[in-house]
Structure 1
Amino acid sequence: MQGTADEHDPAPAGLRERKKQRTRQAIATAALRLFAERGYEETTIAEIAAAADVSPRTFFSYFPSKEDVVFAEIDDRLAEVSEQLRRTPGETPMETIRRSVIDVLEALVAEHGEYGAVQIALIQERPGLRAQALHRMMNTQEQIEALLRDLCPDLAEVDAVAASGMAIGGMQAVVAHCRREGYDPLSMRRALDRAVDIVERGLASVDALTRPSL
C-alpha cells in the first residue's frame, strides 16, 4: 500500500504551511531589525539566521539572498492578491477586487510595525534594491493584468493594463508613504481605506469590471 505524506510528517498540511509562514516572517522581521541596528551591508546572513533561531541553510530554503528578505512581505502579500483574484459567480469583478485588496491590506497594516519604515528606507537608499523593487512592480502589474483579464474576459487590453497599473501603483505608493512617515496602524488603515476608495472610483469607469460574473 502506498504511504501518505502524513506518515513521514504527522503535522497536517495546513499546520505545516502555517509553521513555514511563521518561520519566513520571523526571518524577515529579524533581518529588518538587524538592518536597523547594524546596517544593511554590515549584517550577515549568518547573523540573521541566528537572530531568527534558524540555521543559515534554513534561511536559504526561504530566501535566495539577503536582497530577497527585504521584499519578503511584499512578495507574500502580492501572492495573496493573485490567489484571491478568482471569479465568484454573481459577484462583479469590482467586488472581487475590493474584497481581495481589503484582505491583503489588513495584513499589511499588521506586519512589521516599526520595521516597515526600515524596509522603505532600504529600498529608497540602495540602487540595487530600488531596481529590484521596480522589477517586482513591473512583474506584478503584468500578473495582475493577466488575472484581471481572466476574471473579466471581455475587459479590453488597454483597460486591463491601466487598471492593473492604477491599482498596484496607487496602493504601493500609499503603503510606502505611511511607513516612511511613521503612521500608526489606525492611521495607516484609514489612509489605505481612502486609497482603496480612490482606486475603486477610477476602476468603476471601466464598464466590464462592474458586470457580475456568470
Structure 2
Amino acid sequence: MSAETASATPPAPAKAVAGGGLRERKKERTRRTIRTEAFRLFREQGYAETTVEQIAAAAEISPSTFFRYFPSKEQVALADDLDPLMIAAIEAQPKDLSLLAAFKQATLAAFATLTAEEFAFEKERVELLYSVPELRGAVAQEVQRNLLMVAEIAARWTGRAPDDFEVLAFAGALTGAMTAFIDRDPFSPEQIIRVIEFLEAGMSSL
C-alpha cells in the first residue's frame, strides 16, 4: 500500500492492560510503539519495502526485541486487538438471547468502546490486509482463524463441541458472510449488523 492510499492514523492503544502493573504497561507501550512506527513506514514507503530492521530502528529497539512482540512483519498487520473485546462482549450477553442476537449486541457493545482514533486505525489495518498482495495468503489463514474462534464462542454459548456440525456451519456462515463484504466497506459496524440481521431472518428476503 502506498502512502497515498493509507490514512495517517496511529494504532489503537490496547485496553487490556489498563489496570496492569508497571511491567505490563511498559510492554504494552513498546508493542504500541512498534505498531505505530510500522504503520507509519507502511504508509510512507509501502508494506513490501518496509523491513523488520527498519521498524525496529524507528521504534528504537533491536530486531530481537521486535521478534519478542511479533513473530514476523505480517503479524504486525494481522494482530487483531479487538478479539478480546468482542469475546468479552459476547460472554457478557444474557444467555436467553439467540446466538446471532448475542453476536449483534456484542458487536454494538464492542464498537461503542472504540475511540475515533482506535476505529480509524482498525479500519486502516483491514484495508491494508486486503490491498497488499503479499498479505493475501496470511488473510486466508486469518479467515480460518476467525472461523475457529467463532466456533469456539458458539460452542461455549450452546454447550456443544467446537466441531459439532451445526456449530461449524454457523461459524462458517457468519465468517463467510462477513468476509464477502470486507473489501467493499472495511471495518463497518453497520455492515456487520446488516449481515447478522440477514442471517437472523433466515435469509428470507431472497
Per the normalisation by structure 2, the TM-score is 0.67
State the distance in 2 between where 1:38 and 1:115 align.
20
1:62 aligns with 2:59: no
Equivalent residue number for residue 199 of structure 1: 196
Within 5 Å, give how 1:74-85 maps onto structure 2: 75-85=80-90
CA distance in 1, matches of 2:122, 2:144: 25
Aligned length: 183
Q: Does 1:133 find its partner at 2:139?
A: yes
1:144 to 142, 150, 153: 150
Mapped partners of 1:174, 1:52: distance in 2? 34
Consecutive unaligned residues of structure 2, counting only runs of 5 or more, are: 1-17
For 2:35 and 2:52, the matched residues in 1 are separated by 11
Aligned to 2:111: 105
Report if aligned partners of 1:29, 1:115 keep a CA contact under 8 Å in 2. no
Superposed CA deviations along residues 162-207 of structure 1, whole A, max 9, x for unmatched, are 332333333445454334xxxxxxxx7xx422431331341354xx
What are the superposed Cα offsets for residues 46-73 of structure 1, whole Å, 9 maximum, x if unpaired? 221232344433321210111111212x
Which structure carries more helix by proportion? 1
- The offset of 1:110, in angstroms, is 4.0
Identical aligned residues as a percent: 30
Q: Does the 8 Å contact 2:178/2:195 carry over to 1? A: no
Mean Cα displacement is larger for which, 34-43 or 106-115? Answer: 106-115
The CA deviation at 1:135 is 0.9
Q: Which moved more, 1:102-111 or 1:144-153?
A: 102-111
Query: Is the aligned partner of 1:153 residue 2:159?
Result: yes
Q: Which has the higher contact order (CA 8 A, sep 6+)?
A: 1
Q: For 2:184 and 2:173, how far apart are their aligned partners in 1?
A: 16
Instruction: In structure 2, give the amino acid aligned to 1:77.
Output: L
Q: Is the 8 A contact 2:100 2:196 kept in 1?
A: no
Q: Measured at CA, do residues 20 and 39 of structure 1 come closer, stay the same or move farther in structure 2, by a change above 3 Å?
A: same
Alpha-carbon RMSD: 3.6
Query: Greater Rg, structure 1 or structure 2?
Result: 1
Is the alpha carbon distance of 1:167 and 1:119 closer, same or farther for their aligned partners in structure 2, counting shifts above 3 Å?
closer
Query: CA 1:202 to 1:108, structure 2 compared with 1: closer, same or farther past 3 Å?
Result: farther
In structure 1, C-alpha distance between the alignment counterparts of 2:109 and 2:65, rounded to whole Å: 29
For residue 67 of structure 2, what is the amino acid of its counterpart?
Answer: F
Closer, same or farther: CA 29–123 of 1 in aligned 2, 3 Å: farther
Closer, same or farther: CA 176–109 of 1 in aligned 2, 3 Å: farther
Amino acid at match of 1:81: M
